[in-house]
Structure 1
Amino acid sequence: MAITIQQVQKQTQKLAMTPLMQQSLQLLQMPALELEQMALQEIEQNPFLEIAEDVEDDQASVEEDLAAGLESGSAEVEVDDKSSEGAEEPLPDPSVVADDSSGLPLGDEDKEEGVELPGEAEVAHFDDVDVNWDECYDGADSPVYYARSSDEEEHDLEDYVAARPDLRQQLKWQLQMSVATDAERRIGEYIIGNLDSDGYLRVPIEEIAADLGCKPQDVEKVLKLIQSFDPPGVAARSLEECLEIQLRNRKVKDPLAYEIVRKHLNFVKNKRIRTLAQKLGVSDDRVAQVVNLISSLDPKPGSRVQQDTVPYVEPDVIVKKLDDDYYIFVNEGRLSGLRLNGYYRALLQSKDAFSEEERKFALEKFKAAVWLLKNLERRKATLLRVTQAIMEHQRGFLEHGVSALKPLTLRQIADEVGMHESTIARVTSGKYVETPRGLFELKYFFTRGVQQDSGEELSNETVRQLIKELVESEDPANPLSDQAIVAILRKRGINIARRTVAKYRAQLGILPSRLRKTIDSANKD
């Protein structure tokens, strides 16, 4: 059959995501800080959005209002298997958006003014072109939204100090104070610019000399100068040279220390003290003393002065214990006062305020503002519901810590709240919850389980914590091997393989037993 180009009409089905649905998914994935930045940017571009100025004053009485509501049960979201007592406030309808001045919902009440808002029909049919979120949240517990007051927490002034200079900035400053000629400064800056994150120079001297058009002796001279800078050991070309520079900086006179650093670091790494002592013809105690000295040196002098980016985390959800119950708050921050601007909304209701083109533009901005407010409400309700389901499963963690953490999967929470696993993944990704036990990412509470003899499953995070506690309490002269840890865990009814213990130990950053043995007792190979 000959291959020809022809037009063919074919009918197919595909899922088309509306702009509203796309925005809903984007907001669902955003953490608190990113969401606030996005909303503030949207406020600058959309005149129909504003943040109420009196919200921060109202937040001062949030705790008092909650305490007053505990008796009636109208404001609580309990994390237990029992239903809350008292009257429950129904979940706010996402289709209702409050006005900033009159407080009337964006619904039939607005039509009482006698002027129908243009485009209101399209907004009214909002849910017909998207997922019916009202059915998802039907019967859900009352959400409690909480915005932090600016007076709630006082920040230390040390949080706002200037950033520390990084390694290269420190070395360039010392270079400026130490060299006199432009040629030396040019060589020094080239060397400093080629240091890696650990402070090592990986470029050969001959290559530097060729690039700069100078003699290797001149490069060597400037390199020796930089190696005398702080931190000690910087600009070394090998580990042996780095440690030797630090020994000279400490004015160590013992020739045995220099010999071990230059020729026998492999014995030091594996703590083969007796073999090294026999090879050098000295006592074990003498070698152990030198090895202790070498172990106190820094093999990566540049890493401790590198500029680290400090991650700032704002909790999206707050879990607080009041009396004997736990209550969940959604941390809205400044977005708690986000609302429609009454002035521009009134202009849109007036028939003579805009030209036809301006009216079309204003209507688009109005729809965008309503969509944003509705999607923010959906995000809050989804986040609250998912967090509540997680905390109900992990109430033991809230009471007793990591040892009571239970195995949990995304599917369990998805089935419980009636959502898809991908939605739960979006809700928990990058979101943090502040609990009485500390600040944790929501994904922290999803762990696999280890079968116990009793038939119950134990979280692998709990097993890791047990391994960490066993290592911390071990005898330094006789550290526990992976097989010994397996035996101890089996006595406690936890059956795991040795390779699993080795994997968890590596995840915790714990060295093997032969490398954890103290120098004084490491007298065997």
Structure 2
Amino acid sequence: MLKQSLQQKLLQKLSPQQIQFIKLLQVPTVSLDARIKEELEENPALEDLSLANMNEPQEDYPDKDPGDQATQEEQTSDNEEFNVEEYLQDDNINDYSGSSNHNNDDEDDRKEIPIAIQHSFFENLKQQLDLLSLSEKDSLIGHQIIGSLDDDGYLRRPIESLTDDLAFSQNIIASEEEILNVLEKVQRFDPPGVGARNLQECLLIQLRKKDSDNITIQKAIQLIENHLEEFTRKHYDKLERTLNINSEELKAIIDEILKLNPKPGDSGAAAGKQLHVIPDFHIQNNDGVLILTLNSRNAPELRVSKSYQEMFQHYEKSDQKDKKMKEAVQFVKQKLDSAKWFIDAIKQRQQTLLKTMSAIMNYQYEYFLTGDDRNLRPMILKDIADRVDMDISTVSRVANSKYVQTEFGTFLLKSFFSEAIQTESGEEVSNKEVKKILEECIANEDKRKPLADEKLTDILKEKGYPIARRTVAKYREAMNIPVARLRKEL
């Protein structure tokens, strides 16, 4: 049965401008340039002022304050179907299409960074394969094996699957013995350990390339072949009894094993996988006074295109305002609105970043003066949100992806937030302080008898931090510190 009814609902929706601001706010500085370039390419009504001015004679087109432009616009504004003069500016600049070509050229120039020519990991292996005297069939098998390696240099694909791959893709019928024979040749390539099917085989390949007459190497091969599990679990006492060696001999064997590379494929690619961090803020200590500045990349010079301004002027002067003309102006208005929203969102982003970081700096003033983790106060998102009168989610978007450069390092803002722990005296301190003490205790421990979590708990209680053992274990794991048994050394 169908029936009609009236209902009242309260719905909270974000406007397109708010969504655009939220997305821009969580973008870090390192990605902001790409986001602005994307907007410039999508919206021809938006221009990069710093690039547009390169084509303009400065004496004919002086830069003007945006506030002055807005005043002049209001003075010449008429009430049309569209508020045309709202988008007009007095800056006479070249046509957008002309400056666009210059922009692209400039972008290309900035991209042409000299890069050292180097062969990739797989290209290096293929070159070594081509140097061998192999039959055509074995050469194709070798290329199939190299193409099946993972990025870390391991062959995790079963031999039976390689047989099927060769049959279907290369129309080659190869036996398991033939594939293993070529695989053995690939395992002799550099870097040592490449082509291994597991960690044990990888380590053995590297050890067997060393001096076979060396007793230590022989014992290391015996250890990896027969006692790898005991070695990974650091059951050193059992290894000494089994191999009939003393602690000094075992230490020499372990030192040889630790020199090996468990991921040979990463050695060639590590150089190209560096993480580049561009700080969003800079804090300087000027004789005890902290000075906060925003990275200049967060403040691009953007404005509305001159060519779209002229389109509105043409529409104003035109006597014939037919349907096609109105549709064109509607399109232009949409692009201008989008450009203005984007510029406003960028400005709002700057203000929010500065306001939030300023509150964090003032809250942690002693820490930013000294760089000592013991001066880091307990601080949660709500503490900063209350100071800046913003939502917690807004502060979270700023803290999760932004970096600040100080005189003692560059840090993610999120790292300054920590929970409070109450000492025996009733004072609230940051859990960062407890982690620092834990780190110092473990760094200074006797590596032959590392401190267990229970002992670390007792040490913290003696220092006035009544913390449970499970909390100590949680902090230790958060700092990527293994359990006591795995920290044991000879």
> Smaller-chain TM-score range?
0.7 to 0.9
Q: SS of 1:161's equivalent?
A: coil
Of the structure 1 ranges 11-20 and 405-414, higher mean CA displacement relative to structure 2 is found in 11-20
Q: In the TM superposition, what whole-angstrom CA distance separates every residue of 1:370-410 from its partner, at most 9, and x where no partner exists?
A: 22222222111111111111111111221222232222111
Q: Which residue of 2 aligns with 1:247?
A: 207
What is the deviation of 1:231? 1.6
Indicate if the aligned counterparts of 1:406 and 1:458 stay in contact, CA closer than 8 A. yes
Match of 2:317 in 1: 352
Matched, 1:12 2:9: yes
| Residues 194 and 201, structure 1, Cα contact 8 Å, conserved in 2 | yes
Task: Give the Cα separation in 2 of the matches to 1:109 and 1:518.
Answer: 76
**Map of 2:351 onto structure 1:** 381
Does the Cα contact within 8 Å between 2:299 and 2:347 map onto a contact in 1?
no
- Residue 20 of structure 2 is aligned with which of 20, 23, 40? 23
SS of equivalent to 1:178: coil
8 A contact 2:74–2:85 mirrored in 1: no
Instruction: From the superposition, tell whether residues 292 and 362 of structure 1 become closer, same or farther in structure 2 (CA, over 3 Å).
Output: closer
Among 251, 261, 264, the residue aligned to 1:301: 264
Cα–Cα, structure 1 residues 49 and 294, in superposed 2: closer, same or farther, change >3 Å? closer
Aligned CA distance change for structure 1 residues 44 and 437 (closer, same or farther; 3 Å): same
Determine if the alignment matches structure 1 residue 325 to structure 2 residue 289: yes
Return closer, same or farther for 1:466/1:122 CA change in 2, 3 Å cut-off: farther
Letter in 1 for 2:460: L
Q: Residues 210-225 of structure 1 correspond to what in structure 2 (within 5 A)? A: 210-212=164-166, 213-225=173-185
* Change in CA separation of 1:238 and 1:21 when aligned onto 2, cut-off 3 Å: closer
Describe how 1:261-280 pairs up with structure 2 within 5 A. 261-280=224-243
Cα 1:238/1:39, change in 2 over 3 Å: closer
Measured at CA, do residues 346 and 122 of structure 1 come closer, stay the same or move farther in structure 2, by a change above 3 Å?
Answer: closer
Relative to structure 1, the CA distance from residue 329 to residue 257 in structure 2 (aligned partners, 3 Å threshold; closer, same or farther) is closer
CA distance in 1, matches of 2:488, 2:425: 35
User: For residue 251 of structure 1, what is the amino acid of its counterpart?
Assistant: D
Matched, 1:428 2:428: no
Q: How does 1:175-194 map to 2 (within 5 A)?
A: 175-194=129-148
> 1:117 touches 1:349 (CA, 8 Å); kept in 2?
no
TM-score when normalising by structure 2: 0.80
Could you say which residue in structure 2 is the equivalent of 1:76? none
2:233 corresponds to which letter in structure 1? N
In 1, Cα distance between the equivalents of 2:236 and 2:65?
A: 82
Question: Matched residues in 2 for 1:182 and 1:518: separation?
Answer: 51
* Contact kept? 1:51, 1:334, Cα under 8 Å: no
| Matched residue, 1:228 | 188
Residue 39 (str. 1) matches residue 36 (str. 2): yes
Distance 1:118 1:179, change over 3 A: farther
Name which of 252, 259, 270 aligns with 2:222.
259
Corresponding residue for residue 413 of structure 2: 442
- CA positional deviation for 1:175: 1.7
Match of 1:209 in 2: 163
- Seen in structure 2, the aligned counterparts of structure 1 residues 277 and 327 have a Cα distance that, compared at 3 Å, is closer
Shift of 1:166: 4.5
> What is the alpha-carbon distance in structure 2 between the residues aligned to residue 324 and residue 343 of structure 1?
51
Asked if 1:480 corresponds to 2:451, the answer is: yes
CA contact (8 A) 1:118 1:349 kept: no
Task: Write the deviation string for residues 104-127 of structure 1: whole angstroms up to 9, x where unpaired.
Answer: 545443233475687449979xxx
- What residue number does 1:127 align with? none
Which of 464, 474, 488 is equivalent to 1:503? 474
How many Å separate the matches in 1 of 2:71 and 2:81?
A: 14
Identity of aligned residues (%): 33
Partner of 1:417: 388
Task: Answer whether contact 1:239 1:299 (CA < 8 A) is retained.
Answer: yes
Task: Give 1:180 deviation, angstroms.
Answer: 3.1
Pair 1:336 & 2:300 matched: yes
CA contact (8 A) 1:46 1:369 kept: yes
1:37-66 superposed Cα distances (whole Å, 9 cap, x missing partner): 222332344444323338999xxxxxxxxx
Q: Number of paired residues?
A: 443
Q: Mean alpha-carbon deviation: is it higher for 165-174 or for 184-193? A: 165-174
Gaps of 5+ in 1: 58-98, 125-154, 520-525
C-alpha distance in 1, partners of 2:356/2:301?
A: 24
User: Which of the numbers 345, 348, 361 marks the counterpart of 2:331?
Assistant: 361
Task: Name the amino acid aligned to 2:342.
Answer: L
CA contact (8 A) 1:123 1:367 kept: no
In structure 2, C-alpha distance between the alignment counterparts of 1:206 and 1:344, rounded to whole Å: 65
- What is the RMSD of the two structures over their aligned residues, measured on CA atoms? 3.3
CA distance in 2, matches of 1:238, 1:23: 48
Distance change >3 Å, CA 162–CA 496, structure 1 → 2: farther
Which amino acid in structure 2 is aligned with residue 223 of structure 1? L
Number of the residue aligned with 1:465? 436
Q: Distance in 1 between matches of 2:146 and 2:124?
A: 10
Letter in 2 for 1:499: R
Shift of 1:339: 2.5
Range with bigger deviation, 430-439 or 266-275: 266-275
Which residue number in structure 2 is paired with residue 313 of structure 1?
277
Partner residue, 2:98: none
TM-score, normalised via structure 1 length: 0.75
Instruction: For residue 214 of structure 1, report the CA deviation from its aligned partner.
Output: 0.6
Aligned letter for 1:50?
E
- Partner amino acid, structure 2, of 1:333: R
* Aligned counterpart, 1:289: 252
Q: Is the 1:452–1:494 Cα contact (8 Å) retained in structure 2?
A: yes
173-182 or 407-416, larger mean C-alpha shift: 173-182
* Aligned partner of residue 303 in structure 2, secondary structure: strand
Which of the pair is proportionally richer in helix? 2
| Structure 2: distance between partners of 1:447 and 1:102 | 43
Higher relative contact order (CA 8 A, sep 6+): 1
Q: Distance in 1 between matches of 2:465 and 2:348?
A: 42
In the alignment, residue 237 of structure 1 is paired with which amino acid?
A: R
Q: CA deviation at 1:295?
A: 3.4
SS in 2 for 1:458: strand
Determine if the alignment matches structure 1 residue 397 to structure 2 residue 394.
no
